[in-house]
A and B are shown apart, each in its own frame.
Chain A
Amino acid sequence: EAQVTQNPRYLITVTGKKLTVTCSQNMNHEYMSWYRQDPGLGLRQIYYSMNVEVTDKGDVPEGYKVSRKEKRNFPLILESPSPNQTSLYFCASSLSGYSYEQYFGPGTRLTVT
């Protein structure tokens, strides 16, 4: 089944404790992206990747890191999480940066206390 998977689905952590949210797709997509969703703000892009080893900042990249060493994986790293990073996170992928449809993962609910 073609899909985007994210792990974990739920995470509660404390300020300053490094964490990684994994994202993997099995569709051989070149383009992958991370979004955060906050009430009243919609979804905002954090980082995106046009292909392996090519990443770029989105609208809200502060406090996040990403890497794209393999085509299928695009982990989101929070080196020192803070409470304002409490949010719902989505990973998405598409065939290319210019393809019209993005496929979304199920979301990761992160709470930083």
Chain B
Amino acid sequence: AQTVTQSQPEMSVQEAETVTLSCTYDTSESDYYLFWYKQPPSRQMILVIRQEAYKQQNATENRFSVNFQKAAKSFSLKISDSQLGDAAMYFCAYRPRNLIFGKGTKLSVKP
């Protein structure tokens, strides 16, 4: 079965510091996509960053970057220079065709 595991239900970071959220997945597919979604209190699902499995280069979007380790089936999200607005639930997701989500990590940002 294809699964996505986020081992940190909650995390906390000081404003302006860096935090890394972990994600591992289980698959037998060779071609797929990986995503990190952010869900703020408004409940809207916001795409933060995506990675194509065939690309070796790690994706980066401003302060957000990933560490994609295909052999280890690991896809962590690094948030640099954390801001108060980064506080949210973060979901890792994997897509061979349909999206499969992890259970989420709640990130708190301390001023």
Number of interface residues of A (CB under 8 A): 21
Interchain CB contact under 8 A, B43 and A107: yes
Check if B44 is an interface residue, CB within 8 A of chain A: yes
Interchain CB contact under 8 A, B103 and A106: no
Q: How far is the CB of A62 from chain B (nearest CB, A)?
A: 17
Note all chain A residues with C-beta closer than 8 A to B100.
45
Check if B68 is an interface residue, CB within 8 A of chain A: no
> How many Å lie between the Cα of A106 and that of B45 in the bound state?
8
Interchain CB contact under 8 A, B95 and A100: yes
Note all chain A residues with C-beta closer than 8 A to B91.
42-43
The chain B residues found within 8 Å of chain A, CB to CB, are 4, 9, 33, 35, 43-45, 47, 50, 52, 91, 95, 97-104
29 A-B pairs in the complex with CB atoms less than 8 angstroms apart:
A33-B99, A35-B99, A40-B9, A40-B103, A41-B103, A42-B4, A42-B102, A42-B103, A42-B104, A43-B45, A43-B91, A44-B101, A48-B98, A100-B33, A100-B35, A100-B50, A100-B52, A100-B95, A101-B47, A101-B50, A102-B95, A102-B99, A104-B44, A104-B45, A106-B43, A106-B44, A107-B43, A107-B44, A107-B45
